[in-house]
Amino acid sequence: MTQKLGLALGSGAARGWSHIGVLQGLAERGIKPDVVAGASIGALVAAAYASDQLAVLEKWVLSLTRMDVFSLLDARFRGGVMHGGKIMNAIADELGDHQIEDLEIAYGAVATDLVTGREIWLREGSVLDAVRASCGLPGLFAPTRQNDRWLLDGGLVNPVPVSVCYAMGAENVIAVNLNSHMANKRQSFVDSLEENEEEKKELKRFEKLASVVTSLFSSRDTEPGIFDVVNASINIMQERITRSRMAGEPPFVEIAPDVADIQLMDFHRAQENIDAGKAAVDDVADKLEDLKQLIP
């Protein structure tokens, strides 16, 4: 008897492009999920997969430079440093929008209610609205309002939404955890900028925004900046929550790409991420062979 397979794609900001590599690695082994759920960046990649747009997303992210990333950031200081409208418009231009109910593959995104702290599952309506709600990283992107609720990043309450996959009917779940290699890694946005003189010159095009963003980070040799603290705190919190939740609702297989050196805003490093995702699939090849005995 075959069983329905779920795939839970975890949160992790720019590290999330590794989900593309994971999906490619699974496809090469003939493994196709029937249900996908995601938190934060995982919600975006899951949406691309569920709408048969993964190749389109891959082509776009591989084309991104650091300057492209900066050009998509719309600065503000109410609820978050970035509004998020420009990047969502860019995603809409690439992927279009769909209704969740119309997707051929069952899809769910996770968000967090700002007022109550409750976990919100987004299972109907606009795919892009669900993705934006799930990607509201505190302090960086402003929360979004849906159905009289202010919604924040889903990674705050369910970083790797295995439970959502089970609730949508999956009997077995593959979990992709982007936070398992984060221990003892202090990341620095500023250090990576200082290593590239050409990019520093190009940043003059975005001088005001760049000065705002870099002032909130620090280099490794100085006192941590605001976002260094926020980013590290969220990583610690998500790793602990993930460990606890997966102990209660364990996946059949956990895939853990080693992307600890990818920083919060390194969306221009897609190829490294994708390669790490594929390598992580290879690491669990034996377990995946066992899983294939249970699925179509």
Confidence band, pLDDT 50/70/90 cuts, at residue 180: confident
Sign of CA dihedral 291, 249, 99, 178: negative
In this predicted structure, the answer to whether residue 184 has a pLDDT above a threshold of 50 is no
pTM: 0.87
- 40, 134, 180, 218: the active-site residue: 40
Catalytic residue among 34, 153, 228, 266: 153
pLDDT, one tens digit per residue, over 237-262 is 888 888 888 889 999 999 999 999 89
Residue 18: active-site member = no
Domain segments of the chain as ranges: 5-185+250-285
As a whole number of angstroms, the distance between CA 133 and CA 145 comes to: 8
What is the residue type of 227? F
Kindly report, residue by residue over 23-71, the tens digit of the pLDDT.
999 999 999 999 999 999 999 999 999 999 999 999 999 999 988 888 8
CATH of domain 5-185+250-285: 3.40.1090.10
What is the share, in percent, of the chain residues with pLDDT greater than 70? Answer: 80
Decide if 191 is catalytic.
Answer: no
